[in-house]
Amino acid sequence: MAERIGFVGLGIMGKPMAKNLLKAGYSLTVYDIVGEPVEELVTDGAARASSNKEVAANSDKIFTMLPDSADSEIAILGPEGVLEGAASGSIIIDMSSIAPLVSKKIAAECAQKGVEMLDAPVSGGEPGAINAALAIMVGGKQEVFDGCFDLLKTMGSNVVLTGDIGAGGVTKLANQIIVAANIEALSEALVLAQKAGVDPEKVFNAIRGGLAGSAVMEAKGPMMLDRNFTAGFRIRLHQKDLRNVLQTGQELNVPLPVTALIQQMLGALINEGESEADHAAILHFLEGMAKVEVKRGG
């Protein structure tokens, strides 16, 4: 394919996403502040860049996948940033989960240079990134989205334009509310079963096919029962997302009481040294309160 693609941010999500672009045959230039994933992508066929600016200078469409709002702002708008190297007519696709107002700020500065932007956060965790099965929630112009749709489909199974710039971020925040609440509710349910002397695995199998069943339950229930909290999506990142949810809610005067409570649970787990654990470890907070450990066999 003649189209030149850039990718900045090769972390737990970005690296497999970039690999899927290579598998689809795109010409890819990559950069990350950590050298190891860059080396891995170069071995797979990507070109190495020495800065965000260099990625953009060698690309028509540039993806960014970074931890938080400040990271996206610096990587795109800062010194040696993507915008410095981007030519008029190029497109920046920020797939980071950041505050919608920051996406709007970045897009406004890009527009002054004739650079288009989409905000396109994702859901699906590391397994979704590896399997190109992410849900991708996009904000931006219809015509820009249409021109990037095939590219986005190499990384996601469900790609939806939800509105103008910032709408992708709002959609991701809504997603994170629901995911967090599901994990917390599942944790409460399994802790209750354990404390009552009923096998949590049997409870899980009994309810998974009913109204309580969900994709979250199917993904996180087995992890909880296996005591496997290796990160597919880290607690510190979900805590960050819920912080952005609450900030956005405050700006819009929207009460979010359950979200606020779960965000505090995540903060407590971070203080307990679990920032890098999978968000399924919300279970640990409930177990600590009930003085019980969920395990197969009851």
42 and 87 within one domain: yes
The reported pLDDT for the residue numbered 280 is: 97
Output the average pLDDT for the chain. Answer: 96
Amino acid identity of 137? Answer: M
Q: How many CB atoms lie within 10 A of CB 267?
A: 16
Q: How many domains does the chain have?
A: 2
Per-residue pLDDT at 98 exceeds 90? yes
125 and 14 within one domain: yes
CA atoms within 13 A on the CB side of 25: 3
pLDDT-derived band at 282, boundaries 50, 70, 90? very high
pLDDT-derived band at 1, boundaries 50, 70, 90? very low
pLDDT-derived band at 156, boundaries 50, 70, 90? very high
Start-to-end CA span in the chain (Å): 55
**The last residue of a domain, from among 142, 164, 186:** 164
The CATH number linked to 270 is: 1.10.1040.10
Instruction: Tell me, yes or no, whether 216 lies in a domain.
Output: yes
Instruction: Compute the distance between CA of residue 184 and CA of residue 268 in angstroms, rounded to an integer.
Output: 14
109 and 148 within one domain: yes
209 and 102 within one domain: no
Query: In whole angstroms, how far apart are CA 145 and each of 63, 81, 149, 151?
Result: 13, 23, 6, 10
28 and 134 within one domain: yes
Residue 172 annotated as catalytic? yes
- Mind listing the pLDDT tens digit for each residue in 22-71? 999 999 999 999 999 999 999 999 999 999 999 999 999 999 999 999 99
Instruction: Tell me, yes or no, whether 105 lies in a domain.
Output: yes
Instruction: Tell me, yes or no, whether 102 lies in a domain.
Output: yes
Instruction: Tell me, yes or no, whether 149 lies in a domain.
Output: yes
175 and 139 within one domain: no
**The last residue of a domain, from among 105, 129, 164:** 164
12 and 146 within one domain: yes
**The last residue of a domain, from among 164, 182, 212:** 164
174 and 160 within one domain: no
Instruction: Tell me, yes or no, whether 298 lies in a domain.
Output: no
pLDDT-derived band at 297, boundaries 50, 70, 90? confident
The reported pLDDT for the residue numbered 231 is: 86
Least reliable range by pLDDT among 53-57, 61-65, 117-121, 124-128: 124-128
- Which of 16, 32, 13 has its CA nearest to residue 24? 16
The reported pLDDT for the residue numbered 232 is: 83
Instruction: Tell me, yes or no, whether 137 lies in a domain.
Output: yes
Q: How many CB atoms lie within 10 A of CB 251?
A: 11
202 and 120 within one domain: no
State the average pLDDT over residues 107-124: 97
The reported pLDDT for the residue numbered 283 is: 98
Instruction: Compute the distance between CA of residue 105 and CA of residue 236 in angstroms, rounded to an integer.
Output: 24
Catalytic residue among 53, 61, 172, 240: 172
Q: How many residues does the chain have?
A: 298
Instruction: Tell me, yes or no, whether 62 lies in a domain.
Output: yes
239 and 195 within one domain: yes
State the average pLDDT over residues 79-102: 96
74 and 189 within one domain: no
- Mind listing the pLDDT tens digit for each residue in 170-223? 999 999 999 999 999 999 999 999 999 999 999 999 999 999 999 999 999 999
Instruction: Tell me, yes or no, whether 296 lies in a domain.
Output: no
The CATH number linked to 118 is: 3.40.50.720
| Domain range enclosing 24 | 4-164
98 and 39 within one domain: yes
Quote the tokens at residue 285: 């907070």
